[in-house]
Amino acid sequence: MRLVMFAALLLSGCSVNGGVATQAEKKAGMEAQRENMVRTQIEDRGVRDLAVARAMRAVPRHLFVPESVVPNAYEDRPLAIGENQTISQPYIVALMTELARVEPGERVLEVGTGSGYQTAVLLAMGAEVYTIEIVPTLAARAKQTLDAMYPEAQLHTRTGDGYRGWPEAAPFDAIIVTAAPDHIPQPLVDQLALAGRLVIPGGGVNQNLMVLTKEAGGVRREEVAPVRFVPMTGEAQHPAAPPQADPNQPSRDH
């Protein structure tokens, strides 16, 4: 409790002695809040992947939110980032990353860059990341932040509709979708490598977080937990053609 109170004082701009907090004190306050976030919101809820926990500890979430909500950056909830979009709850970011089972050097597609926070977590895990954002202002802001923080990273950004993925960069070892379509985009399934994982919220009004794993005999689907994401826009709302399952890749639930 004293640690959290101390961090809150630093975030407010005051030191424990009543003066203006120094940059070092502010940094320490943010680090304390980030550590508390990982322990209480992520590890205590069952996320066990140590690489995910390290990445969440390493990425400064407060740099990916508007200045007006920086004091709330490490709270257990999504936050508005403008354009009717949000940065996801920290636990959900950690859970989706763990479900994607990302290994260093793997090629990962992210559909919905948003603030760039999920992108940063993937980069911190050593992935080569391809990320697409349909809202130009968010895409530009995220790219600026990510380029400044990770100038040497294997990062590829694109502004546009992510429904059809990034075919020229496929296949992907993992795909993470951070908005909810009412059906699974077949192009994303097609762009998975064998044993690749697609982590996606879906189901319209009653959303569920799902993992689709491409196997030699088809696609295995697992429903993980109920979630609430903003709807996926663009072609997801009005597909150019009805999504057709590949008859040679039958889907099966697990």
Q: How far apart are CA 74 and CA 41, in angstroms?
A: 10
Q: What is the DSSP secondary-structure string of the chain? A: -HHHHHHHHHHTTB-TTSSBPPHHHHHHHHHHHHHHHIIIIIGGGT---HHHHHHHHHS-GGGGS-GGGGGGTTSSS-EEEETTEEEPPHHHHHHHHHHHT--TT-EEEEE--TTSHHHHHHHHTT-EEEEEESSHHHHHHHHHHHHHH-TTS-EEEEES--TT--GGG--EEEEEE-SB-SS--HHHHHTEEEEEEEEEEESTTS-EEEEEEEETTEEEEEEEEE---PBP-GGGTS-SS-----TTS-EEE-
Q: Write the CB contacts of 242 (distance below 8 Å, at least 6 apart in sequence).
A: none
Catalytic residue among 12, 15, 88, 115: 88
Task: Look up 15 and say whether it is catalytic.
Answer: no
Q: Which residues are catalytic?
A: 88
